Amino acid sequence: MPKADASIEVHSLKVTADGVAERERVIPQEVPVALVYDGTTYAVMMASPSDLEDFAIGFSLAEGIVAAADEIEGLDVQEQENGIELRMWLAPHRRRDLAERRRRMAGPTGCGLCGVESLEAALPACPRVTAELTITADDVATALAALEPAQALNRKTRAVHGAGFWTRAEGLVALAEDVGRHNALDKLIGARLLAGELPLSDSVLFLSGRASFELLQKAAAAGIPVVAAVGAPSSLAIDLAQRTGIMLVGFLRGRSFNVYAHRERLQ
């Protein structure tokens, strides 16, 4: 599928202390994207309409619906009048697991964790990251300097999040952008999973925004040993990083940053 343009140009009125002026502005597209498994919708996310196959694969891994890309036996991207459907067909054993999960789901609660039936289910156990990767302050500064110029959509719109993988050997190896922080990371992980490159034991994950619990969950599932965020982490994100062996960095400003978990990974 060709790469979609995830931005559009709109008309606006620029107002300043000196007056008003007509102008055109590029903004990000945001559309409802339904993730459909074997004919049944599992979730609908507001997302940028690009890299949608990667999004489908990465979301499925993060949700525990699959553990490998080949457990999705078919994937179609279908544009609808009101959005896009990502239609997936699962391997038989995964289809049975998902059907059982749906039977256990409680009714809608209006919360931010759809289909989660208890507080215990909202905070599941995550795999421990055993990679021995260490980094230096120079590594962090070098990677951060490479991240911003690569965010083409954000340069145009100044309104989307980015997630990128960086290694000392190859530099910035992959980047994904989306209006949603979680979506950007799902796309990034999905692309690596499709390329057969999980776990990501040699990679540092850089996030353009803050580090939340859900993003650390996704990182642990992908075996990522270092997560560095431009913004602040949440308390649950720090706790999860400590439990899973992930070095968690926040408030990135060039060579200046805070380390919240597993500082032994910093050389």
Q: pLDDT tens across 159-186, in order?
A: 999 999 999 999 999 999 999 999 999 9
pLDDT digits (tens, 9 = 90+) for 173-229: 999 999 999 999 999 999 999 998 888 999 999 999 999 999 999 999 999 999 999
Tokens of 245: 């062996």
66-90: pLDDT as tens digits: 999 999 999 999 999 889 999 999 9
Residue 197: helix, strand or coil by DSSP? coil
**Is 53 in a helix, a strand, or coil?**
helix
Note the CATH architecture for domain 31-121.
Answer: Roll (3.10)
**CA-to-CA distance for 47 and 52, rounded, in angstroms?**
9
Q: Helix, strand, or coil here: 248?
A: strand
Burial class of 64 by CB neighbour count within 10 A (0 to 12, 13 to 18, 19+): middle
pLDDT in tens, 98-130: 998 877 654 443 334 554 545 556 677 889 999
Which residues make up the CATH 3.40.140.10 domain(s) of the chain? Answer: 137-265
The angle subtended at Cα 41 by Cα 216 and Cα 240, nearest 5°, is 10
Token pair for 211: 């580090």
Class of domain 137-265: alpha beta
Q: Which residues, other chains included, contact 248 with Cβ-Cβ below 8 Å and sequence gap of 6+? A: 211, 216, 227, 229, 233, 237, 238, 241, 259, 260, 261, 262
Confirm if 164 and 32 have CB atoms less than 8 A apart.
no
Locate 241 and state its tokens. 């990083």
The residue annotated as part of the active site, out of 111, 119, 125, 169, is: 111
Is 111 an annotated catalytic residue? yes
Is-contact 209 181, C-beta < 8 A? yes
Integer Cα distance of 48 and 54 in angstroms: 12
pLDDT at 242 over 70: yes
Residue ranges of the chain assigned to CATH 3.10.20.10: 31-121
- CA angle at residue 246 from 240 to 251, to 5 degrees? 85
- By residue count, the chain amounts to 267
For all residues of the chain together, what is the average pLDDT?
89
In this prediction, residue 90 carries a pLDDT of 98
C-alpha distances out from residue 187 to 19, 50, 57, 165, Å: 42, 9, 8, 12
DSSP 8-state symbol, 84: E
pLDDT at 3: 52
3-state per-residue secondary structure call for 168-230: CCCEEEEEEEECCHHHHHHHHHHHHHHCCCCCCCCCEEEECCCECHHHHHHHHHCCCCEEEEC
CA atoms of 146 and 82, how far apart (whole Å): 36
